[in-house]
A and B are shown apart, each in its own frame.
Chain A
Amino acid sequence: MSARPATYESAVGRLEEIIARLDSGQAGLRETLELCREGKTLIEYAAGELEAVGQGLEELRLDELIARLEAQGPTTE
């Protein structure tokens, strides 16, 4: 089981590698199933990232954001 990908591009890059490996027909059953399991994780991650930027554009103003942050004051531990 591979670790969670660091970035969307690394996830997609790894997915391309997996697809290429699967398409080569050289992977055995065990490797194929492991690649598919890893690919599923990557796909979920990539789909999540795409979903995060597909829910509608959010526009913020820096000055308002800073004002809001300043109004909240410094965080106390």
Chain B
Amino acid sequence: MEPLLGQPLAPEGIDGYHGPHPVGRYAAALREKLRTFAGVCLIGEVSGARLGRGPNVYFELRDPDGAVPCAMWRDEFDRLGLRADDFRDGIEVVAAGSCDYYVGGPSASPRFTFRVRDLRLAGEGDLLARLDRLRRQLAAEGLFEPQKRLRLPALPRTIGVVTAEGSAARRDFLAGLARRSWQGTIVWAYAPVQDRRAAPAIGAAIRELAALGDVEAIVVTRGGGSIADLWAFCDETLCRTVALLPVPVISAVGHEVDRTLIDDVACVCCSTPTHAAEAAVGIDCAHALARVTAVATRMDAAARAALVARARTLAAHSRAPREHVAGHRRDLHQQTRELRAATRRGIASRADSQRRIGSTVISRKLEAARADADARRAALRALAGRLERAGELGAESRAKALRAQGAALEAHDPERALERGYALALDTGGEPLAGAAAVREAGDFELRMAGGSVPARVREESEP
């Protein structure tokens, strides 16, 4: 807008108020004024924390009565060494700083802020931060390891327990031991477990229990509570005592979510007193006794079984030759039976075969014989016929020859000659006399002629 008289006209104000002032100048004046306010510490819960990556970390501090927007330069926040988990909504912090005002700009909104220059966690958060620092320190010193290297006996005869007299932890611990059926010796070291006397008393009790010599494990236990309630168990001196103790320590402080420093240095960390009892006595004694009894029985059985097995083996070995021979004998008998049966089968088979063959041969021979007999019979008959015919012919022939011979013979018969007039001289004996000399010699002789014989005598009267 163009000023009417070459210079800007001062706008009219409002009665009763200064100005009007340009707002930017007023904002700057306001920032300067606010910055003159004294630095203070505020305590409240963090809300709306925005860590981001910009040059500022923003959050609000609240309590039931109000809130203040806060900002902290990134580098100053980082120097606090807080982890993201430490700085979260709901935690209580103490913030040191002073008022500031961002005047804004053409495109940035103005904003009042409490510029935080330093900050620490308050209450539990503070304790946790201190605990974290102490934990890192002891860890760096290697004090978490010595107890871990100790051997926790599975079946201690004597257990030392540090706890509050009449506490629920004591009752729970006893219940845990009962579940293990453990009935050894407990040395109770009662000590305060919460106030400022607690840490030194607990430390002294632990040392004295360890000094007894018979105590094989020490349990330190109490029920749950806030970190402030459990703070005695984060005591540096106590934790160093535990870390270097030659007797294993079982810690069971608070509940499962609580973790005190003694849990880190102890040999074993348990969530409850009951669990601590089960850690202190690693076995169920009743079950173990039954198991040992069963093992003893089993061992006896194994030894007996081994002996019996060996005896059986030996007996088997001693029987072996006899059984071997018996076996052979059985085999032999069997083979003999089979042989006999086979022989019978063979003989029968052969006999049958031979019978079949014989029958065939015989029948064939019979037929041949019959045929031969028939042939012979026919031949015989033919021969007989021939013989008969030959006989007939022979008889006739012989009769004829006979007749011829008879005729011839008859022709030579002396009788025939006698009939024709010849005479036969016979000696007295009837023998023929063949010549005249025989007749002379005989002197007397007989003349046989047809019709009869005539005695005759030689007469020698005239010699020629």
Chain A interfacial positions (CB closer than 8 Å to B): 7-9, 12, 15, 18-19, 22, 27, 29, 32-33, 35-36, 39-40, 43, 46-47, 49-50, 52-63, 65-66
Contacts and interface: CB of A to CB of B under 8 A. Distances in A.
Given A40-B299, A59-B186, A61-B190, A54 B306 contact: no
B299 A50 contact: no
A43 B129 CA distance: 52
A60 B153 contact: no
Contacts of A56: 183
B188 A61 contact: yes
Contacts of B187: 60-62, 65
B308 to A, nearest CB: 11
Contacts of A9: 153-155, 282
Contact of B285 (A12, A50, A65, A66): A50
B157 A52 contact: yes
A60 B186 contact: yes
B295 A19 contact: yes
Interface string B278-303: 00011101001100110110111011
A9 B281 CA distance: 12
B142 interface: no
B292 A43 contact: yes
Nearest to A21: B302
B212 interface: yes
Given A7-B153, A8-B153, A50-B155, A43 B188 contact: no
Contact of A57 (B183, B209, B283, B303): B183
Of listed A43, A50, A58, A59, residue having the most chain B CB within 10 A: A50
A39 B295 contact: yes
B231 interface: no
B183 to A, nearest CB: 5
A66 B302 CA distance: 50
Nearest to A9: B154
Contacts of A66: 208
Given A12-B288, A35-B302, 8 more contacts: A7-B154, A8-B154, A8-B155, A22-B298, A58-B184, A58-B185, A60-B186, A63-B190
A53 to B, nearest CB: 4
B289 A54 contact: yes
A15 B183 CA distance: 24
Contact of A52 (B153, B184, B292, B300): B184
B189 interface: yes
Given A32-B303, A60-B188, A49 B155 contact: yes
A53 B282 CA distance: 13
Contacts of A57: 177, 182-186
Contacts of B295: 15, 19, 39, 43
A47 B177 contact: no
A72 to B, nearest CB: 13
B302 A36 contact: yes
B181 interface: yes
Contacts of A32: 302-303, 306
B209 A62 contact: yes
Contacts of A53: 155-157, 182-184, 281, 285
